[in-house]
Structure 1
Amino acid sequence: MLGKSLFCFVVALGISLQLRAANPQERASAQTVTLLKPTAEEKEAVRVIGQYLMQKHYRKVPVNDSLSQQIFSRFIDNLDGSKSYFLASDIERLRKSYGNTIDDEFLAGSAHAGFDIYNLFLQRSKEKMRYMKALADKVHLNLSVPETLDLDRKSDPWPLDRSQLIALWNKELKYQWLNLKYSGESNKSIRGELAKNYTSRLNILNRLKPEDAFQAYTYALTTSFDPHTSYFSPDEYQNFQIDLSRSLEGIGAKLQTEGEYTIVHELIPGGPAFKSNTLKKGDKIIGVGQGRALAIVDVFGWRINDVVKLIRGKKGTIVRLKILPASQGGRGPEKIVELLRDKINLQEQAAKKSIIIQKSKKIGVITIPSFYLDFEGQQQNASDYNSTSRDVSRILNELNAEHVDGIVIDLRDNGGGSLEESVSVTGLFIPGGPVVQISDAAGGKVVLKDEDSRVQYSGPLAVLVNRYSASASEIFAAAIQDYGRGVIIGERTFGKGTVQSLIRLSRPNSFIGKKTELGEIKLTMAKFYRISGGSTQHKGVEPDIAMPSMIDMAKIGEDTYTSSLPWSTISPSLYKPTAEVSPEKINLLRQNFLQRSSKNPLYQSYLHDIATLDQIRKKKEISLQDSAIKSETETIKRIEKQWVKEQDPAKDLDKDAVLNQSAAVVGDLAAELEAGNLKAGTLPSPH
């Protein structure tokens, strides 16, 4: 699927909106373009999708011109977020023709607007790629001119005419040239690489099918309700099922399309990508190479199914990914990540323990990569089925036997998993009671509880989270915080507090007595709420003691989606806080932490480098001068080399710096309890 750009417009009106081509050959090509048209199945699918969105989605949205304008704006932004394809006059005409009619169309089973817009985008894209290739082949770039490129053009006006559009394309070429230069390419190879990439993208544009236009359009339609509602074509659903099984040999990553980029959406614990520490959520994959010797293929603008096919492969083979790292905010040098394909090792998903000594205090660390559960083994009453709560329970027994002074539960990068397991793990630390509330679209409420009054560990406790901690992780952290059972340390969590269901779409075929499969829709049906009444949606869980990481908070998180469901409240559950960690205790721990960390030169160096990286990422414009790019690139490389130890997660100083500080906080809590400065809670002793 070619993400957020292009559309060939108004054939039905008999109006030509073509830009003037750069030469007669391009003009002739533009006039003979083949238009994409929806199939009968796609027309039916869009009608059924519209019905489910109206009737079943958690967010009840009136079908009116306002909704139509939202879908239109999102579709245009998805196609041309950089505002480097359409002109202001194009947008004005398109909005006038389709801005208020999309809602009527999808309810009537029409995708006319979506295909017209996409066809024009396709036409503009081909013109841009031809121009960029010709420019890369011949132009001599002056990289000493004080010039800038706006990397975030969402609030900028659309180009008024072709001259403004070409000026923007020229700047984009400079930026791409400089990126390649400081990724290690020579001037000669840069010219060839860019020409090859533009040729590849032009070939992709020429091979696009109706399903690509349909996927782009339905993505804008579904995500106008919320970012986690999406449509899968029959082929895409097959890939989705493979991802869920987590059994295919590959790199262990879930991918999604964002504009013309393939984005790393999730790293599967136990997979090669997770273990290598070289790939992160939010990284943009722009090239894929087989083995160490074959050339890397440019995949910018590819449909996601084709990118997945390139990345998948047999166990023991190497795949190389060219990425734009999320930590750099979409700027900075490209990186090559080398991964050895393998099967997902379920043991690598399991909770693990370690021990940190902090000022004579023995602090146990339990790292939980995901909340996993072998549903089949549980249903069959197998004696050794995998589950997070069983593994954490065993580890707690071992740590109790080792007489640890406190425990840190490390949920960083834990994207969630089994809701049942997150409730069960919470129950190991509290004496029974509600853990999470779930509200459905009809206003009904279900409260999930820990029914076991036993407490397996009652000592000093901290929960370590970051921006990647989501869903089930947030439920656990929120419950521990609401009960006052432990201190939450790290960053504000992701903020995904919604529940999705997968629904198969089909149409009865009366002629042959069978159903026509129309794909699947993943629909948001409910929201999570804390037992204190607030939702984890959008806001996530705020830490009691903030410790930042290298993650770009402005690019990752539920609040970065324009259509995310809002934070809201319902009535709280009846529960009795254990008050192990009261607000007064939190203030004392925070003061101790600030005083201690201010005297720690390694941690202060870490904070300084994060602040430097944030300053670079927040720049709206980037210099196109060689010297400025070189300085910024070298700064980014130095920071990442200092803190992120690729291929060796055990030496990831980015994470270690925060983990050691967290262990020290738990040590403080243990010491204060021993000294009698803090009063212990009412929990029973470990059993």
Structure 2
Amino acid sequence: MRKFLLLLMFAPLNGRTQLLSSVAKLIETEHYRPKVIDDSFSAALWRRYIEMLDPLKGLFLRSDLETLSTYRFVLDDEIRGERVVAFLPAALRLYRARLSEAVVMDSAILSNPFRYDVDETVRPDGGSLDDFAGSLPVLREARRKMLKYLSLQYLVMQRRTGFESDSLARQKAREWLAADYARLWRDTALSVQMGRYVDVMGRLMDPHTDYFFSGVGSGSPSTVDVALIRSSGRRVGYVSFPEFYGDSLRHCASDVSRALRTLDSARVDGIVFDLRDNHGGSLQEVLRMTGLLIPRGPVVQVRRRSGAPVALSSDADSVVYDGPLAILVNEKTASAAELFTAAIQDYHRGIVIGSRTYGKGTVQRSFPVDSGVLKLTIEQFFRVSGGSTQLAGVTPDVCLPDVYAFQKVREADNAGALGWDTIPPVAYAPGPALYGGAFSPDSVFGVIQRNNTWLGARRDSPVSLDLSVFTAGQDARQAILLQDRDALTLPAGRRLDVMALTPGDRRWVMAAGRDIYINEALRVLEHIREPKS
């Protein structure tokens, strides 16, 4: 009986050790550029997991980190199964204790009115501007500022309705905290935190190596939106889709092929592919879709951690559409969408318009591990011209600023992103270079650029908790955002005549008719010419 009880006691421990060692082996054998799991990696994992538990630096004390420092350089040994997995249980015990204390502390803080005429500051997310607190009084002061920041936001929302009450603002803060604490307590389960610990471990390799529990449902099915746009006496086709989807029932390239045939039969003067916010998808769909526009030939090169790069090609003998083409992109055009855009650009098949794309040039594969799934980066993409889209993305032929610029949403803004690289170009036959002519973007893009500079300069600046200063800052920011909204919207007299050619929700049609970027794409299409001989 005693032996049976001991087996039960150590079963979860053995399971954790097995999970960590399995993940480590997969990373070491399959990852494209694995980091060495050594003492340096251990120290980074130790710090990153603690910061994941307490991102606002409002729970742990500096002495807690000192208590946990005994594990700082041994997590690599725990991962390999050479030591008992002890850091995670120890960190969670401290976390739960500090969470309990925070509930009591917050209740006491919110029982007293805040002074909103004191100029004190927090981070934009409400977190402490300092490192972890060195004492309980310092921690309490950090939490007081966090709660004041939360209440201040509710107070400002009240002010817009003409009614202002610190008591009501603090009550709203209590309600928000109650829901947040309920979530945090649910997430203290060891099974949940083990998954998050492994996820942190994966993301130290690169931003796209992660671990998640299986059984996550998929979203609503994607579709291709197709329209005919009439502008300045010309008829231009419009094609947009949010991802390069492909499964046993539906294929993005097939849907786009039908759209191109419909538009070509309508004798359009050009086609705009709108790939803004397209987050990528199936590489096979990229190859098939490129073949709709470019004859048989290489589309992308792929390289694993060992071996020579492999060129993947389109096998299309003839194209579906060979007329003028423009590709709209922005900073959220990613992965497979970037490969398609790069191929169009490298072959001189169309003009790319917008802002530099996201910069995800890696391939992931999922491996079942325990009760979850480890998604590993296993390959890197390269253009037929040799450069990688990793970090660099695709630079448009006609550059236009967009409102994402100040938000830092690109791959390069992720900690641990893999670097850019280049390989020899593959043999391919680009068409004649397109001549864009003397094209001057609409002057409103200057407004967006200036606003991006203003917003970017304040993105990470400390936030004042003085009500008048805070309100002035919020009002100024709101005014800038309203300027952006107005700048991005075509005035009534210039709106586009958009006729949808696909069934379904029509809200996108109204948005397209007001979209200044689509209008710029139409203007660029007018300038596409073959170079003069």
**What TM-score bracket applies, with the shorter chain setting the length?**
0.7 to 0.9
The one-letter code of the counterpart of 1:411 is L
Cα distance in 1 for partners of 2:299, 2:129 equals: 42
Equivalent residue number for residue 196 of structure 1 = 175
Any residues of structure 2 matched to 1:9-408 within 5 Å, and which? 39-95=13-69, 97-108=70-81, 110-136=84-110, 138-151=111-124, 156-184=130-158, 187=165, 188-207=167-186, 208-232=188-212, 236-239=213-216, 242-243=217-218, 252=219, 344=220, 346=221, 349-375=222-248, 377=249, 386-408=250-272
Cα distance in 1 for partners of 2:183, 2:332 equals: 33
**Residue 546 of structure 1: how far off its partner (Å):** 1.9
**Residue 237 of structure 1: how far off its partner (Å):** 0.3
Equivalent residue number for residue 486 of structure 1 = 350
**Residue 478 of structure 1: how far off its partner (Å):** 0.9
**Residue 650 of structure 1: how far off its partner (Å):** 4.0
Asked if residue 560 in structure 1 is aligned to residue 413 in structure 2, the reply is: yes
From the superposition, tell whether residues 449 and 65 of structure 1 become closer, same or farther in structure 2 (CA, over 3 Å). Answer: same
Cα distance in 1 for partners of 2:158, 2:287 equals: 49
Per-residue CA deviations over 1:472-504 (Å, capped at 9, x if unaligned) read: 101101111111222211122222222222222
Equivalent residue number for residue 391 of structure 2 = 538
From the superposition, tell whether residues 154 and 545 of structure 1 become closer, same or farther in structure 2 (CA, over 3 Å). Answer: farther
Per-residue CA deviations over 1:226-280 (Å, capped at 9, x if unaligned) read: 2222223xxx2012xx22xxxxxxxx4xxxxxxxxxxxxxxxxxxxxxxxxxxxx
From the superposition, tell whether residues 104 and 154 of structure 1 become closer, same or farther in structure 2 (CA, over 3 Å). Answer: farther
Equivalent residue number for residue 24 of structure 1 = none
Cα distance in 1 for partners of 2:128, 2:386 equals: 35
Give yes or no for contact 1:416–1:469 (8 Å, CA) kept in 2. yes
Asked if residue 661 in structure 1 is aligned to residue 524 in structure 2, the reply is: no
From the superposition, tell whether residues 189 and 649 of structure 1 become closer, same or farther in structure 2 (CA, over 3 Å). Answer: farther
Per-residue CA deviations over 1:135-173 (Å, capped at 9, x if unaligned) read: 11x221111222221237798543333333222222111
**Residue 211 of structure 1: how far off its partner (Å):** 1.1
The one-letter code of the counterpart of 2:190 is P
Larger deviation, residues 621-630 vs 602-611? 602-611
Identity within the alignment, %: 31
From the superposition, tell whether residues 405 and 436 of structure 1 become closer, same or farther in structure 2 (CA, over 3 Å). Answer: same
Give yes or no for contact 1:352–1:368 (8 Å, CA) kept in 2. yes
From the superposition, tell whether residues 182 and 552 of structure 1 become closer, same or farther in structure 2 (CA, over 3 Å). Answer: farther
**Candidates 367, 373, 377, aligned match of 1:520:** 373
**Candidates 334, 353, 359, aligned match of 1:470:** 334
Cα distance in 1 for partners of 2:413, 2:86 equals: 30
- Number of residue pairs matched by the alignment: 496
Q: Which consecutive unaligned segments of at least 5 residues does structure 2 have?
A: 1-10, 490-505
From the superposition, tell whether residues 655 and 564 of structure 1 become closer, same or farther in structure 2 (CA, over 3 Å). Answer: farther
Other structure's SS at 1:592 match: coil
Asked if residue 569 in structure 1 is aligned to residue 422 in structure 2, the reply is: yes
From the superposition, tell whether residues 142 and 394 of structure 1 become closer, same or farther in structure 2 (CA, over 3 Å). Answer: same
Any residues of structure 2 matched to 1:490-505 within 5 Å, and which? 490-505=354-369
Cα distance in 1 for partners of 2:468, 2:50 equals: 35
Asked if residue 632 in structure 1 is aligned to residue 473 in structure 2, the reply is: yes
Equivalent residue number for residue 683 of structure 1 = none
**Residue 523 of structure 1: how far off its partner (Å):** 1.7
From the superposition, tell whether residues 150 and 519 of structure 1 become closer, same or farther in structure 2 (CA, over 3 Å). Answer: closer
Per-residue CA deviations over 1:422-451 (Å, capped at 9, x if unaligned) read: 111112222221001111122343221012
Give yes or no for contact 1:130–1:202 (8 Å, CA) kept in 2. no
Larger deviation, residues 392-401 vs 474-483? 392-401
Give yes or no for contact 1:363–1:663 (8 Å, CA) kept in 2. yes
TM-score normalised by L of structure 1: 0.67
Cα distance in 2 for partners of 1:358, 1:237 equals: 49
From the superposition, tell whether residues 206 and 661 of structure 1 become closer, same or farther in structure 2 (CA, over 3 Å). Answer: closer
Cα distance in 2 for partners of 1:238, 1:116 equals: 29
Cα distance in 1 for partners of 2:247, 2:180 equals: 43
| Large movers: runs of 4+ above 6 Å | 152-155
Cα distance in 1 for partners of 2:395, 2:197 equals: 36
From the superposition, tell whether residues 59 and 159 of structure 1 become closer, same or farther in structure 2 (CA, over 3 Å). Answer: same
From the superposition, tell whether residues 115 and 650 of structure 1 become closer, same or farther in structure 2 (CA, over 3 Å). Answer: farther
Equivalent residue number for residue 443 of structure 1 = 307
Equivalent residue number for residue 273 of structure 1 = none
Cα distance in 1 for partners of 2:128, 2:527 equals: 47
Give yes or no for contact 2:406–2:456 (8 Å, CA) kept in 1. no
From the superposition, tell whether residues 55 and 550 of structure 1 become closer, same or farther in structure 2 (CA, over 3 Å). Answer: same
Q: Which consecutive unaligned segments of at least 5 residues does structure 1 have?
A: 1-36, 244-251, 253-343, 378-385, 506-516, 681-687
From the superposition, tell whether residues 389 and 518 of structure 1 become closer, same or farther in structure 2 (CA, over 3 Å). Answer: closer
Cα distance in 2 for partners of 1:658, 1:114 equals: 49
**Residue 101 of structure 1: how far off its partner (Å):** 0.8
The one-letter code of the counterpart of 1:225 is M
Cα distance in 1 for partners of 2:345, 2:88 equals: 46
Equivalent residue number for residue 6 of structure 2 = none
**Residue 83 of structure 1: how far off its partner (Å):** 2.4
The one-letter code of the counterpart of 1:666 is L
Give yes or no for contact 2:244–2:286 (8 Å, CA) kept in 1. yes
Equivalent residue number for residue 426 of structure 1 = 290
Equivalent residue number for residue 592 of structure 1 = 439
Cα distance in 1 for partners of 2:338, 2:480 equals: 29
Give yes or no for contact 2:279–2:333 (8 Å, CA) kept in 1. yes
Give yes or no for contact 2:302–2:311 (8 Å, CA) kept in 1. yes
Cα distance in 2 for partners of 1:154, 1:473 equals: 39
Cα distance in 2 for partners of 1:154, 1:664 equals: 49
Cα distance in 2 for partners of 1:155, 1:130 equals: 23
Give yes or no for contact 1:432–1:449 (8 Å, CA) kept in 2. yes
Equivalent residue number for residue 499 of structure 2 = none
Cα distance in 2 for partners of 1:146, 1:115 equals: 40
Cα distance in 2 for partners of 1:357, 1:523 equals: 46
Equivalent residue number for residue 620 of structure 1 = 461
Cα distance in 1 for partners of 2:367, 2:417 equals: 21
User: Please, what is the CA RMSD of the aligned residues?
Assistant: 2.9
Per-residue CA deviations over 1:622-647 (Å, capped at 9, x if unaligned) read: 121212322333444455564599x9
**Residue 103 of structure 1: how far off its partner (Å):** 0.6
**Residue 62 of structure 1: how far off its partner (Å):** 2.2
Give yes or no for contact 2:405–2:452 (8 Å, CA) kept in 1. no
Give yes or no for contact 2:46–2:72 (8 Å, CA) kept in 1. yes
The one-letter code of the counterpart of 1:566 is G
TM-score normalised by L of structure 2: 0.85
Cα distance in 2 for partners of 1:526, 1:409 equals: 27
From the superposition, tell whether residues 81 and 485 of structure 1 become closer, same or farther in structure 2 (CA, over 3 Å). Answer: same
Other structure's SS at 1:463 match: strand
Give yes or no for contact 2:48–2:200 (8 Å, CA) kept in 1. yes
The one-letter code of the counterpart of 1:563 is G
Give yes or no for contact 2:390–2:420 (8 Å, CA) kept in 1. yes
Give yes or no for contact 1:365–1:410 (8 Å, CA) kept in 2. yes
**Residue 75 of structure 1: how far off its partner (Å):** 1.4
